[in-house]
Amino acid sequence: MRVLYELSSRDGYSYSLFVFKVRAVLGYKKLEYESVVLGFKEIHEQVAKYNPKKEVPVLIDGDKIVCDSDLIYEYLEENYPQSPVRKGDTTVLNEIMQITHVMLSIGMPNTVAKLKDEDQEYFRAKAEAATGRKVEESLKDDVYQENLSKWRSTIDSLTERIVNDSQVTFSNINIAGVLYWLRFCVGADDVFGDNENLKSWFENFLKVVHVD
């Protein structure tokens, strides 16, 4: 049996972008697996024996252990060639990744309260190190609104190119993963605004790759 180690919020929601990438490839290829959803503390305790970096995703497939979302993708492509997932053109993805600091500033502080109690202090420190601000200061204040505007204008300017490409490529899986993670952090209204085109593309993409 295949087992996927995932990151969980306090409600058991698997929100990680990196885990999403693997779930989408498995889902598109219709490969069954069991999920083990863990908080950060549990990952550090239970995943270290498979991955010295103590990170998820980790995929156990029979006697094979594969860590890192990109390596798991390559492993699945090589071993399960049905419903191929090509790499795809990364131009749009690269443009989105240029505003990674903006996405982290919006997303990370708003994630802390959604985590298991035992994970909050750990993640708060990560969020504060990444943003250079106290979490409480970052919660939907003026800087948040400024960053949200930057996110929206970037994503609005790329929407036509995103929605015109309905293929399931690894590049598009990455784009959907960013949206999936950010939606968890700040909610659909802030992620999409009035951009119904992008929202429909995203919702349809989730159906095609069988991720809830």
Ligand X SMILES: N[C@@H](CCC(=O)N[C@@H](CS)C(=O)NCC(=O)O)C(=O)O
Report, in Å, the least distance between residue 38 CB and ligand X. 9
Report, in Å, the least distance between residue 80 CB and ligand X. 19
Considering beta carbons, is residue 36 or 143 the nearer one to ligand X? 36
Q: Are 115 and 39 in contact (CB under 8 A)?
A: yes
Considering beta carbons, is residue 41 or 150 the nearer one to ligand X? 41
User: CA-CA distance, 177 to 156, in Å (whole number)?
Assistant: 17
Report, in Å, the least distance between residue 23 CB and ligand X. 12
Report, in Å, the least distance between residue 142 CB and ligand X. 28
Closest listed residue to residue 171, CA positions, set 111, 87, 102: 87
Report, in Å, the least distance between residue 18 CB and ligand X. 4
Considering beta carbons, is residue 11 or 142 the nearer one to ligand X? 11
Report, in Å, the least distance between residue 21 CB and ligand X. 7
Considering beta carbons, is residue 40 or 144 the nearer one to ligand X? 40
Considering beta carbons, is residue 127 or 198 the nearer one to ligand X? 127
Residues that bind ligand X (CB under 6 A): 7, 16, 18, 40, 43, 54-57, 68-70
3-state secondary structure the chain: CEEEEEEECCCCCECCHHHHHHHHHHHHCCCCCEEEEECHHHHHHHCCCCCCCCCCCEEEECCEEEECHHHHHHHHHHHCCCCCCCCCCCHHHHHHHCCHHHHHHHHCCCCHHHCCHHHHHHHHHHHHHHHCCCHHHHCCCHHHHHHHHHHHHHHHHHHHHHHCCCCCCHHHHHHHHHHHHHHHHHCHHHHHCCCHHHHHHHHHHHHHCCCC
Considering beta carbons, is residue 56 or 148 the nearer one to ligand X? 56
User: CA-CA distance, 48 to 114, in Å (whole number)?
Assistant: 24
